[in-house]
Structure 1
Amino acid sequence: MIKFLDNKLFRYLSVFLFLNSLILPVKSSSALAAWVLKNNGVLELRTKSNTNLKAYFQKSNQISGDRFWVDFPGELKNPRIIKGNGPIKEIRLGKPNKGKTRLVIEFKEETYLEPLTWKMVGLDQNRWRIKLFNPKYSFKKIGEGLVEKKRGNIKANQNFIHKKKNNYGYLKLPEVKRNKFEVVIDPGHGGPDPGAIGIGGIRETDVVLEVSKIVKNLLSEKGVKVRLTRTNEVDLDLPPRVSIANNTDADIFVSIHANASRGKRRDINGLETFYYRGWRGRLLAKRIQKQILIVSPGSPDRGVKQGRFYVIKNTRMPAVLVEIGFLTGRLDARRLEKITHRKRLAYAIAKGILEYLDKVG
């Protein structure tokens, strides 16, 4: 989110990345693990997973040039100043206050910047990127550490669907009473109706069917009886989906979809969950929304909302419709085309469902 703090004087520009509620302890080491300012003007960061970043821009004054900085949780041990080159005057790493780390990039006076166009993009759970300037002259990259060192975290995330009991570590799914609950999972669209078509031709029906099947497997391992409204590419109208849920007398109904923006705008991304009525429906929606946001850092929180979609309006049990991202959005589409991210989303949805069942069961 880009926001003017003083629109009249054009002094401050703030970029806030609220990725989740994780706050590191004051005594912890810095969440900043590595950084590099490349010769194409792109700043890349590597942090601890799910870090809450806050970034700012300030126009030059009589003392300093234009400055861009990022604040990280966790305290830096060794403050330092690194000499810049080209348009960069210097880069400073310090402790603005106890328990924090600040990375400051100060530009030379003649550097032309367009902060209104800046966007901090989350590449995955621990990497970030922002384009700060277009070099007109030669510029040597400056950095510390290995920003690309991320494969270990991705492998860990693959354990979201590991079948061995008690192998989730901190990702372990909640326990519920076995053989007590019945859930209907509804993969949206199907057959001749592919749903949304996104960047590179990615289809909603393919994404949501795969995610739904993984959700089914995860819930089944926890002793929950699960029924899918469809298991392959078939043409299934809305009333039969509702009938499946009502006839099985399910405890909850969860319809899984992916979004598309009008005009296929690539700057629109985000996740949202809808319910039709009742505190139980709202609670289920809130639990799922919270979990999918955790595994999709950087993607906007479009919130929990009431909706009048046919499948959640006409089912007799608590029902939600979850939109797991925009297939037309640059950030979401890049993630949704990858099996690793689909597994993360499935894990998140399953966790939200189990938390709900544990709460109301």
Structure 2
Amino acid sequence: MGLALHLVSFLSSYRIQVFAAKITGWSISKSGMLDFDVSKNVTVRPSSFHSSSNKGGIWLDFHGVHLPTKNTRGRGPIRAVRLNRINRQTSRLIIDFAPKLKVNTQRLRLTNFIRNRWRLILIGLPTSSINTSRSVKSQSRPRIISTTRKTRKKNRIIIDPGHGGPDPGAIGLNGLRETDVVLLLSLLVAQLLQDQGFQTILTRTSEIDVDLPQRTSMANRLKASIFVSIHANAISSARSDINGIETFYYENSLSSTLAEEIQQFILTASPQTISRGVRKARFFVIRRTFMPSVLVETGFLTGSLDSLDLATFEHRQRIALAITTGILSYIKKEL
């Protein structure tokens, strides 16, 4: 658990330049995510992680890539990060862990972050690792709201990352895709809710296409207590002056309250964000669900301000924490 957090324990801000034509390099950010850049002719398979139960490590193979061998030693949970050449056509990135640290590859997610950049995250980050202190004043940072065990047990929450697969959604400045933004946001929200003890289900956890009726029928069939669909907005690239967040509901008064809570906590977490308000709308996923449902537009990918924020992992952390806190605040008041 906490792979990203452990990686940072000895590789924070460490950057490796790979002297090869097809992989330009990778880095471990201070927030604990592993990013790597590839050229267009490198195939990356998001589900291609492997693990060794007896050696306590994971690896990812790059086929058709010829890279020099590189080893980096570490202390604590992470013992080494290695780049090995398997054969003339395959290179392997290996992360070695301490013997007692078990990593479930089913909880690893490799997402196409932007253009030819990929990001590795581990679903299972503890709440304490969602750090917003660098960019948000402590007095405005949302605090996780406590709930009773009975409340957590009886409420099932559906988180719906918009679009996916062949449908990337909106395309913003610098090629930023809506599906990449909202999938990571949704994964973070789901994990934060799970850390609080709530049963949380995602309509998708990878880059696949899920029809709108499938999303709503899942929520209705599972008798969810709350449905939150997460999106990012766009408009003509000529209108980069348009920025801001907005949250939509259909007609249920409880949905309106949920939308107000989420909107307010996002504005608290990101005071510089422009508010476009809470409004009624007839989006399919909030019109065809039978529980309090909202659709959150987390910003404009075509906006000169929002696009810069949404491209950073730190801002997505803030938004994810704010959405989570809004949901918990609503539950405490209404359910």
- Shorter-chain TM-score: what band? 0.5 to 0.7
Distance 1:240 1:234, change over 3 A: same
- Displacement, 1:223? 1.1
One-letter identity of the residue aligned with 1:245: A
Whole-Å separation in 1 of the counterparts to 2:241 and 2:332: 37
| Structure 1 unaligned blocks of 5 or more | 1-158
The alignment's TM-score, normalised by the length of structure 2, stands at: 0.57
Whether the 8 Å CA contact 1:183–1:250 is kept in 2: the answer is: yes
Q: Is the 8 A contact 1:161 1:343 kept in 2?
A: no
Which of 136, 142, 147 does residue 176 from structure 1 map onto? 147
Residue 180 of structure 2: aligned partner: 206
Q: Is the contact between residue 160 and residue 171 of structure 1 (CA under 8 Å) also seen in structure 2?
A: no
1:45-56 paired onto structure 2 within 5 Å: none
Report the secondary structure of 1:186's partner residue. Answer: strand
* Shift of residue 161, structure 1, vs aligned partner: 4.1
**1:352 is matched by which residue type in structure 2?**
G
Deviations 1:217-244 (A, max 9, x none): 1111111110000000001110000011
CA distance in 2 between counterparts of 1:191 and 1:347 reads 25
Aligned amino acid, residue 333 of structure 2: K
What is residue 47 of structure 1 aligned with on the other side?
none
- 1:162 maps to amino acid: S
Distance 1:236 1:262 in 2: 26
Please report how far the alpha carbon of residue 293 of structure 1 lies from its aligned counterpart in structure 2 after TM superposition. 1.4
Cα pair 2:142 2:265 within 8 Å, conserved:
no
Q: Deviations over 1:8-28 (max 9, x none)?
A: xxxxxxxxxxxxxxxxxxxxx
**Does the aligned pair in 1 maintain the 2:236–2:302 contact within 8 Å?**
no
> After superposition, where does 1:1-361 map in structure 2 within 5 Å?
161-162=127-128, 171-177=142-148, 178-361=152-335
Would you say how many aligned residue pairs link Structure 1 and Structure 2? 201
Contact 1:264/1:329 (<8 A) preserved: no
TM-score (norm 1): 0.53
Q: Where in structure 1 do 4 or more consecutive aligned residues deviate above 6 Å?
A: 167-170
Listed one character per residue, the Cα deviations across residues 136-187 of structure 1 (whole Å, up to 9, x for unaligned) are xxxxxxxxxxxxxxxxxxxxxxx994259xx999643001123221100000
- CA distance in structure 1 between the partners assigned to 2:252 and 2:168 by the alignment: 31
After superposition, the Cα gap between the structure-2 partners of 1:277 and 1:233, relative to the gap in structure 1 and judged at 3 Å, is same
Instruction: Answer whether contact 1:161 1:214 (CA < 8 A) is retained.
Output: no
Shift of 1:334: 0.1
Counterpart-to-counterpart distance in 1, 2:145 and 2:308:
29
**Distance in 2 (alpha carbons) for counterparts of 1:221 and 1:161:** 6
